[in-house]
A and B are shown apart, each in its own frame.
Chain A
Amino acid sequence: MITRIIAFARGLMRRRKIDDEIVEELQDHIEREIEMHRSRGASLDDARRMALRDLGGLTQTIESTRNVRATWFDGLERDVQYAARVLRRSPRFTATALALLILGTGSATAILSITYAVLVRPLPYPDSDRLVFVTEKDGAGVSWPNFEAWRKGATSFDGLAGSLADAAIITSGEVPRRFESRSVTANFFGVLGTAAQQGRLFDSTDARPDAPPTIVVSHTFWVRELGGRTGAIGQPIALGSNSFHVIGVLPPGFRYMTPADIYRLIEPQVAANYRGMQSPTTRTNFYIVGRLKPGIGVAAARREMQTLHTALALAAYAKPPKEWGLELVTLADRIVGKMATTFTVISGAVTLLLLITCVNLAGLLLTRSAARAHEFRIRAAIGGSRWHLIRQLLVEQGVLVAIGGVLGAAAGAIILRGLISLAPRDLPRLDEIHLDFTVMFAITALSCACAFVFGVVPVLKTLGAVGQALVAHAGRGTTRSGAWLRSGLMIGEIALATVLLAGSGLMVRTMLRLAHTNPGFDPHNLQTVMFSLQGASWPDERKQAFYPSVVERLRAVPGVEDAAITYSLPILGSNWWNVFMTEGTTAEYWTSVGEFPNAGMAPVTAGYFEMMRIPLLEGRSFDRSDTPTSLPVAIINSSTARRYWPNASPLGKQIRQGFPNAPYGPWRAIVGVVGDIKQEGVDRETPQQVFLPVVQQPRTTVFAVARTRGPVAGSSIEAAIHDLDRTIPVFNDRTIEQVMNEASSRRRIAMVVLCVFGGVALLLAAIGVYGVIAQGVADRHKEIGVRMALGASSGQVVRLFLRHGLIVIAIGIPVGVVAAVVAARSLASLVFGITVTDPPTLGAVVVVLVCIALLASYLPARAAARIDPLDALRAD
């Protein structure tokens, strides 16, 4: 590439030199001629005159000699200069075309770049198409016994590895600090195909129970915390009460699902830390990634695993439990997951916008080429070579598209930055997104094709019939077929605008619905932080005494009205699912039903319901009388009460967590029933919930929630907790409203994009309709004059043109509505509380479009009615 540029530049320089030499050569010739004439006695003036005469003029000869040397490139240079002049001469056309190109290519480049990065580009692991993700039914995490059974039995894989996201508290420093971490099986990095950047990664010897504890760290962690020193390998780091050795550093940018700084082995800890993972039916957050053997398909692997999994159930149970099942998807599908729909929708939207832009550009170019057809016919008639005319047109469109493309790419970069700032922080592959050249190239190619088809081809057609056309169309450029083509383009534009507007309407209604859904508690002014009471220095007794003191301390923070502690935060979802037994029902009964009662377990402090403003429906709420030693109690939500005690009051009934053969904790008396809340998210079904006093069920990592009078900084909550104990890691400060915003971010992106694009599409459609009708009026200027001179009223003239607009609307909108109904199916998982064919939405869209399109046709029609017949007839 660079050598080519140099060769090109050298060529240019050589050309300049030859040009100069031609001048020198001819000057030499003239001087010799002058000398010759002078030697024959002519005066200097005469000699010069004769010399120039004989040569046939100096400039002409220079020019004709240069032309011999000229290459295609010199012609191009001239054409570009001419094109620039032509474009400057019609600033309105140029500005409109550029605006269209920038808008269309800019937004399309930005959005399709994101889509390409998130959906299309392979994951950043070697042979990533062979990586699959395995879960139990409904995407639930896997229990350790099942994972081991799969690992032993499955033959489709080169390897099956498991991991779970957790947090590590580094206690080596002055103050304990919390880092995101991931516990992995020893073969985890092997299955992903990741190699160490420094040191080594885990192998099977590290997983032996007697092996020294080891960790692998991220590149960022290595640089920031370990100073990027090679000597850091082998350095001890204390996590909790144990010391680990750093054995390796991952390559920069390595990421699996959520980012993590510390990777440790899961195997030695399974027995100690993850008791819950031991029972085959418990939900866990342990997920499996597998590398398929070459040549084994995803479907084949899925079949094998499902057969294997059913066999496991049949070996353990008489009848497989209802929640027994297995899912296997490609890793890429799992990572992109729910965002895939959002991206499909906004990519669809931007493609529609790009189409509308092209249609509008096409209309613009058609009008222009019609207007210039006359110019080109004349030039052809006086001997301009066809090839020259075509080349010049091509150059003209090329210059336009090139400027538009460059500015569009710049606009794309800006739009991309805006969209990334709008995106949720947990957007998959966010860090891999950048302006994509493949996408940019494809889009520029599309605009070029559009410019060529609609800007050059019609002119070629008119050139075909040079002679008679010159006579027939003295001055008026448009042809009938061109007018029909433009009307057709208009219809398409209106239809596309309908689709986009319907989509944005659906998303706006969805967001309104979500905003008006009662979450069951008051989400305003709730500030939360998480804190962790980890390690041997926090026995249960100390935790039980600590929770109430945290609540007391937080209530004293200025601006805080009330405070409480909970294990699971509403909207964010339950952190603890468990089955439970009910008093008087046998295990046999539940086995025969095939489903054990289960609920999200939420240990909370006294006063939690009052602070959250969750209504108490029956009985009492937790209070100071609930202590570690008092009667074990529980409060259930209304859904749980209805489900298991449909005909009686649940108050006083006993429940116990776990299975009959593996109970967990004591029997508890139900002392109250509270209203349902949207625990799993505003748009999700209300789950069954069981609340426990946290003093009776201590937990390590919990949320502190403060009800504030206005905004209170999370740091002041953190400071208050540190007042009690400086060694407690406090993290993740945010408000419940932020949590809710994050939860709806994928809908909000879709809404913002669809609304912006819908608005632009509406504007473009209006401009398009206006343009077509106005062009019609201009073309028929004289005819209108005649009609009015013959007595047509201005109302009749208005109707004449309004009818054209009405036809376009009458075809375009029904087509658009049908297309919108089909396209809206892709929104199915995004809309909430309405159907994708929501009649009020579609109705409103149709009304808006009809009004705008009518206005856009009425304005030029009215202008037609104001034509002065005398002026019109005198023209030409």
Chain B
Amino acid sequence: MKKSSLLQGTLDLLILRILELGPNHGWGISNRLQQMSKDGLRTSQGSLYPALHRLEMRGDVKSEMTPSDNNRRARMYTMTAAGRKRLQQETQTWNAFALSMRRVLGTNE
């Protein structure tokens, strides 16, 4: 299968999935996304940060500036209860959607 560009709206879902594993900073999330992209999902780093801030404005994640090595500070993102709930819902919706798509298109697994 060819690498397809990330369907709109799925970036939020992926971020929440990564954060479900534990708090992480932007670069860490970006790295995890990169690994995922080897699995066929390609994201651009440029759209990651607006997406993170949008999620925070919506209340799905919260963030805090934390000190990191080399005298720098990084913004550490943590999933909120609302974000966890949203992840569940969106995952269900997505699975249902994917299932219907598979049925329609037939399986080649």
State the CA gap A55–B54 with chains docked (Å).
18
CB–CB B46/A60 < 8 A: yes
**Cβ-defined contact, A31 with B50, below 8 A:** no
Contact of A25 with B74 in the complex, beta carbons under 8 Å = yes
Given the interface contacts A25-B26, A68-B54, does A31 sit within 8 Å of B72 by beta carbon?
yes
The reply on A56 being an interface residue by CB < 8 A is: yes
Return the CB mask of B48-79 against A: 1 if under 8 Å, else 0: 01100110010000000100101011110000
Q: A24 and B65: CB pair below 8 A?
A: yes
Most interface-central of B45, B65, B75 (chain A CB within 10 A): B45
Contact (Cβ within 8 A) B53 A28: no
A28 touches B45 (CB 8 A): no
Contacts of B74 in A (CB 8 A): 25, 28
A64 within 8 Å of B by Cβ?
yes
CB within 8 Å for A57 and B46 given contacts A21-B65, A28-B25, A29-B27: yes
Tell whether A69 pairs with B57 under 8 Å between CB atoms, given A25-B49, A31-B72, A56-B46.
yes
Is the Cβ of A55 less than 8 Å from the Cβ of B57? no
B51: nearest chain-A partner, CB-CB? A68
Residues of B close to A57: CB separation below 8 A = 46
Cβ B45 vs Cβ A54 within 8 A: yes
Give A24 to B71 CA distance when docked, in angstroms.
12
Residues of B close to A22: CB separation below 8 A: 49, 53
A28 and B46 within 8 A (CB): no
CB interface residues, A 276-292, toward B, < 8 Å: none
- Map CB proximity to B onto A54-83 as digits: 1 under 8 Å, 0 otherwise: 111100110011011100000000000000
Interface contact A32-B27, CB-CB below 8 Å: yes
A22 to B45, CA, bound (A): 14
Expressed in whole angstroms, the Cα–Cα distance for A55 and B27 within the complex equals: 11
Residues of chain B within 8 A (CB-CB) of A54 are 44-45
Query: How distant is B43 from chain A, measured CB to nearest CB, in Å?
Result: 10
Interface SS, A side: helix
Query: 0/1 per residue, A16-36, Cβ < 8 Å to B?
Result: 000001101111110111000
Closest partner residue, chain B, to A24 (CB atom): B73
How many angstroms between the C-alpha atoms of A420 and B85 in the bound complex? Answer: 71
Q: What's the least CB distance linking A54 to chain B, in Å? A: 5
Contacting pair B53 A69 (CB below 8 A): yes
Q: How many residues of B contact A (CB 8 A)?
A: 20
CA A24 to CA B63, docked complex, whole Å: 14
Q: How far is the CA of A128 from the CA of B73 in the complex (A)?
A: 69
The distance from the CB of A437 to the nearest CB of chain B, in whole angstroms, is 39
- Once the chains are docked, how many angstroms separate the CA of A26 from the CA of B49? 8
Are A55 and B46 closer than 8 Å at their CB atoms? yes
Minimum C-beta distance from B32 to chain A (A): 13
Chain B residues, Cβ within 8 Å of A21? 65, 75
CB distance from B58 to the nearest CB of A (A): 10
Contact status B65-A61, CB under 8 Å: no
Q: How far, in angstroms, from A54 to B26 measured CA to CA in the complex?
A: 14
Q: Which of B76-102 contact A (CB under 8 A)?
A: none
Residues in B with CB closer than 8 Å to A67 are: 50
- Which residues of chain B come closer than 8 Å to A56, judged between CB atoms? 44-47
The answer to whether A65 and B50 touch (CB under 8 A), given A21-B65, A29-B26, A32-B27, is yes
For the complex, give the distance between the alpha carbons of A25 and B47 in Å: 14
| Inter-chain contact B50/A68, CB cutoff 8 Å | yes
Q: Is A61 a contact partner of B49 (Cβ separation < 8 A)?
A: yes
CA distance A65 to B46 in the complex (A): 9
| Cβ–Cβ < 8 Å partners of A33 in chain B | 27
Q: Name the residue of chain B whose CB is nearest to the CB of A57.
A: B46
Interface residues on chain A, size class? 20 to 34
Q: Complex Cα distance A658/B53, Å?
A: 99
CB distance from A635 to the nearest CB of B (A): 97
Whether A61 touches B73, Cβ cut-off 8 Å, given contacts A21-B65, A25-B26, A68-B54, is no
In the complex, which residue of chain A has the Cβ closest to the Cβ of B46? Answer: A56
CA distance A131 to B105 in the complex (A): 91
Residues of chain A from 1 to 29 with CB closer than 8 A to chain B in the complex: 21-22, 24-29
Give A33 to B47 CA distance when docked, in angstroms.
16
Interface centre among A21, A29, A31, A60 (most CB of B within 10 A): A29
Max chain B CB contacts within 10 Å: which of A28, A33, A60? A28
B72 touches A28 (CB 8 A): yes
Is A68 in contact with B53, judged by CB distance below 8 angstroms? yes
Establish whether residues A64 and B46, one from each chain, have CB atoms under 8 Å apart when the complex forms. yes
Report Cα–Cα, A65/B57, bound state, in Å.
12
- Say whether, besides A28-B74, A68-B53, A61 and B46 are in contact (CB < 8 Å): yes
Rounded to whole angstroms, the CA-CA distance of A8 and B27 in the bound complex is: 33
The interface residues of chain B lying within 8 Å CB-to-CB of A27 are: 72
Quick one: which of A24, A29, A68 contacts B30, CB cutoff 8 A?
A29
Q: Which residue of B lies closest to A17 (CB)?
A: B65
Measured between beta carbons, the chain A residues less than 8 angstroms from B70 are 31
For the complex formed, measure the closest distance between the CB of A55 and the CB atoms of chain B, giving whole angstroms. Answer: 5
Q: Closest approach, in angstroms, between the C-beta of B69 and any C-beta of chain A?
A: 10
* Smallest Cβ-Cβ distance to A31: which chain B residue: B72
List residues of chain B with CB within 8 A of the CB of A32: 27
Residues from chain A with a CB closer than 8 A to the CB of B73 are 24, 28
Residues of B within 8 A of A60 (CB): 46
Interface residues of A in 627-669 (CB under 8 A from B): none
Would you call B45 and A55 a contact (CB within 8 A)?
yes
Closest to B74 in A: A28
Shortest Cβ distance from A344 into chain B, in angstroms? Answer: 58
Across the two chains, which residue of chain A brings its CB closest to B53?
A68
Q: Which of B44, B54, B57, B75 is close to A25, meaning CB atoms less than 8 Å apart?
A: B75
Q: A24-B65, A25-B26, A28-B27 are in contact. Are A65 and B49 (CB under 8 A)?
A: yes
CB distance from A60 to the nearest CB of B (A): 7
Q: How far is the CB of B3 from chain A (nearest CB, A)?
A: 16
Q: Which residues of B contact A55 (CB under 8 A)?
A: 45-46
A34: min CB distance to chain B, Å = 11
Closest to A18 in B: B53
Alpha-carbon separation in the docked complex, A64 to B46 (Å): 9
Residues of chain A lying within 8 A (CB to CB) of residue B72: 24, 27-28, 31
Contacts of A61 in B (CB 8 A): 45-46, 49-50
Selected A-B contacts with CB under 8 Å, 9 pairs: A22-B49, A28-B26, A28-B27, A31-B70, A32-B27, A54-B44, A64-B47, A65-B50, A69-B53
Per CB-CB distance, the 4 closest pairs between chain A and chain B, nearest first, are: A56-B46, A32-B27, A68-B53, A25-B75
Interface residues of B (CB under 8 A from A): 25-27, 30, 44-47, 49-50, 53-54, 57, 65, 68, 70, 72-75
Residues of A within 8 A of B (CB): 21-22, 24-29, 31-33, 54-57, 60-61, 64-65, 67-69
Given contacts A25-B74, A56-B45, 18 further A-B pairs with CB under 8 A are A24-B72, A25-B26, A25-B49, A25-B75, A26-B26, A26-B49, A28-B26, A29-B27, A31-B70, A33-B27, A54-B45, A56-B44, A61-B49, A64-B49, A64-B50, A65-B49, A65-B50, A68-B50
